[in-house]
């Protein structure tokens, strides 16, 4: 039986690369965004505009993904900023997955710009894994006009860690016998699943490197981090028994949030924003032919204090109006009139089946609303999401569907 062999393919600065490739190879622009300090980001006039992707030259100015554009411009006043084009990114992602399926027996799409390829048993066909990975990397660059990193190992976590080594346009291996020299010397925050908060707690425990984490008593990690401690202990030791998913994993929940352009103190406006969030969330739920059982609302106030409430519904739903009514009730119970900086609506306990528990007041209201929602989705899918909107948003400064990066998802129907 062949030893497991996994490739992890990761597009280098995906949104920026796809944007640059399109502008040069399709629009014929002479300036390549990849070769100058540049970034893909939102509206710099609004406070929630952030860096979604940056070029390699932009990294020299210490510009980071996720930071506000106003901060990035302070670091690099000549930074070229272009708006995101999510339809293009979905198309580029689809082309990449299609190409990978031509060479790999199994492909698991991990995100819009990442995929795992199960290459087990292909050595007789392709020869040396490293040589073939370099060939595949060059095929992607020549045919699709953007670069990737490829990590190679015997399981997914090690392959993913390998692809994150030196970039761009590189192939790296991280097999079990290389863990002590390639993985363990790295700072603990470089480990997948170790975020800033977890890293800070680990450092307070005297754990600074991945090797030190791997050598820590797992009981200590379980005590401080519960189940998450066991996960990061296994990852630090290169242990990953995650099965290869041939089909995309279904969403367990859906949510959106927005950082407001000015601190908010008006409940009426807040609820209009909640409605715009619910419109987007519910459209995504219906696009996946799903139903959700839990609704939650989160608030971050002007002092960056976070609070949230959630409630389990009597029965699963995908109806915008029901999610909105529930979210408004949660908001009324949660908000203490402190100025709001961020609002979020999220849902969980997703399922692909539903029953509606009617009462004497609802009667068949939600069944009719569900049909109406689906009809509106069809119109928006065909003519654009702005083709139908609620009257409450006419002459309003608030967009009727708030969702940022998820716009491409809600415009894409199966």
Cβ–Cβ < 8 Å for 318, 285:
yes
Angle at 135 (CA atoms; ends 159, 103), nearest 5 degrees: 70
End-to-end CA distance of the chain: 38
- Name the β-bridge partners of 299: 307, 343
Residues near 362 by beta carbon (within 8 Å), at least 6 away in sequence: none
Q: Are 153 and 168 spatial neighbours (Cβ–Cβ below 8 Å)?
A: no
**Residue 106: active-site member:** no
Contact 63, 39 (CB under 8 A): yes
Distance in angstroms (rounded) separating the CA atoms of residues 101 and 6: 14
Place of tokens 């079990």: 176
Provide DSSP, 38-86. Answer: EEEE--TTSTT-BEEEE-HHHHTTT--TTSBHHHHHHH-TT-EEE---H
Catalytic annotation, pick one of 19, 108, 114, 385: 114
Nearest to 47 by CA among 256, 280, 258, 340: 258
- CA–CA distance, 133 with 117 (Å, rounded to integer): 11
Residues annotated as catalytic (active site), given as ranges: 114
């Amino acid at each position: 039986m062949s030893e497991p062999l996994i490739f992890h393919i990761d597009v280098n600065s995906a949104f920026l690369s796809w944007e640059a490739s399109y502008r040069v190879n399709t629009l014929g622009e002479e300036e390549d965004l990849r070769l100058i300090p540049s970034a893909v980001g939102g509206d710099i006039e609004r406070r929630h505009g952030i860096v979604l992707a940056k070029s390699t030259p932009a990294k020299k100015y210490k510009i980071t993904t996720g930071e506000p554009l106003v901060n990035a411009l302070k670091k690099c006043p000549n930074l070229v900023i272009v708006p995101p084009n999510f339809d293009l990114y979905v198309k580029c992602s689809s082309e990449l997955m299609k190409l990978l399926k031509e060479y790999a027996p199994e492909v698991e799409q991990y995100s819009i710009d990442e995929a795992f390829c199960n290459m087990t048993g292909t050595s007789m066909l392709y020869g040396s894994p490293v040589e073939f990975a370099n060939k595949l990397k060059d095929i992607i660059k020549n045919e699709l006009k953007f670069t990737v990193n490829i990590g190679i190992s015997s399981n997914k976590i090690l392959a993913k860690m390998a692809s994150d080594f030196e970039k761009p346009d590189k192939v790296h291996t991280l097999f079990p016998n290389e863990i002590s020299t390639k993985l363990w010397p790295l700072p603990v925050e470089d480990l997948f699943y170790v975020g800033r908060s977890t890293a800070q707690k680990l450092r307070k425990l005297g754990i600074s490197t991945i090797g030190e984490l791997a050598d820590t008593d797992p009981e200590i990690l379980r005590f401080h981090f519960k189940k998450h401690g066991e996960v990061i202990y296994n990852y630090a030791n290169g242990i990953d028994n995650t099965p290869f998913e041939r089909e995309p994993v279904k969403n367990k929940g859906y949510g959106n949030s927005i950082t407001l352009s000015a601190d908010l103190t008006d409940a009426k406006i807040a609820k209009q924003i909640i409605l715009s969030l619910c419109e987007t969330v519910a459209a995504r739920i219906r696009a996946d032919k799903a139903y959700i059982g839990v609704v939650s609302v989160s608030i971050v106030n002007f002092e960056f204090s976070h609070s949230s409430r959630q409630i389990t519904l009597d029965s699963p739903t995908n109806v915008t109006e029901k999610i909105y009514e529930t979210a408004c009730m949660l908001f009324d119970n949660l908000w203490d009139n402190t100025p709001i900086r961020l609002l979020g609506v999220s849902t969980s306990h997703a399922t692909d089946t539903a029953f509606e528990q009617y009462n004497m007041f609802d009667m068949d209201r939600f069944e009719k609303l569900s049909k109406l929602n689906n009809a509106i989705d069809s119109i928006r899918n065909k003519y654009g999401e702005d083709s139908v909107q609620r009257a409450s948003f006419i002459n309003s400064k608030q967009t009727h569907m708030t969702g940022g990066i998820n716009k491409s998802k809600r415009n894409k129907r199966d």
